[in-house]
Structure formats: C-alpha cells, structure tokens
Amino acid sequence: MMLLDSAGEAGFADLPEIRSGRATQSANRHAEARRRYRLAVAVVARAAGVSCRLVARPIGRAHRRRRYWALYLTVTSLDVPIKVAARVAGVSPTIVRCAVRQTEDARDRCDIDRAITHLEEALTCAA
C-alpha cells in the first residue's frame, strides 16, 4: 500500500536521499582525490616547515610555489586528473596546468629537481 500526499504523489520527503550508482562513484572519486591532494599538501608543508594552511591557501610567492608543487605532485605522482585536482584545491584548471608547467620547467635546476624528487619519494612512502 502506497501513501499519497495531497498532490496525489508518493511522499518521499522523509526518506533519505538515494544516490544512483554513478553519483556514488563520482562522490567516492572526489573524496579520494581530496584525500590525495591533502596528502600532497601535508608532505610539502612538512618538508617546508610551514602549516598546511599556508600551502593550501598561499600568501606570497614562496607559499604559492609550494602550492604549485602540491598540485604538481597530486597530478603527476598521485594520478589525479587536472580538472578534479582543480576542483578539490578550489582553483581553476588553468592554475593547475600552470602549476604543472612551471614545476616541470623549474625541474631543470638541479636543486629544485632534487627537492621535488625527495617530495615524490616521501609521497610514495606516505601513500
């Protein structure tokens, strides 16, 4: 027996929302991408000796570079697509592409390459 509301429709307002299989998979992928980005932020922050907040929401050029490194690691080492990484970081995909491009260009310097390689190793150990 199905109860109908005053409009003649089944009343489902009091039932919990049921997600479709595709929506649930999307939510799970988004949560996993968020976890991976936060892990990259934590690794970069720990190596730099600053708070995660300064890496995730940078103030100034040095902290912005660290966020770029976290975005770079998220996309390259943790296999998060650029659009998803942008969504979880709260930036546009253009900024993520710029971060990846600038970090790749900066790796031409030996000291930067060593630092990023060290971060990649720390990230693989943490993941």
Q: Are 55 and 39 in contact, with CB atoms under 8 Å apart? A: no
The mean per-residue pLDDT over the stretch 52-66 comes to 88
- pLDDT-based confidence at residue 6 (cuts at 50, 70, 90): low
Output the DSSP codes for 37-53. HHHHHHHHHHHHTS-HH
Catalogue all structural domains in the chain, each as residue range(s) with its CATH number.
26-126 (1.10.1750.10)
Name the pTM for this structure: 0.78
Q: What is the pLDDT of residue 101?
A: 96
Dihedral angle at the C-alpha atoms of 68, 70, 75, 77, nearest 10 degrees?
A: 130
CB-count burial class (<10 Å; 0-12, 13-18, 19+) for 38: middle
Question: pLDDT, tens digit, for every residue of 68-108?
Answer: 999 999 999 999 999 999 999 999 999 999 999 999 999 99
Q: Which of 4-8, 27-31, 85-89, 108-112 has the lowest mean pLDDT?
A: 4-8
Distance CA 109, CA 30 (A): 34
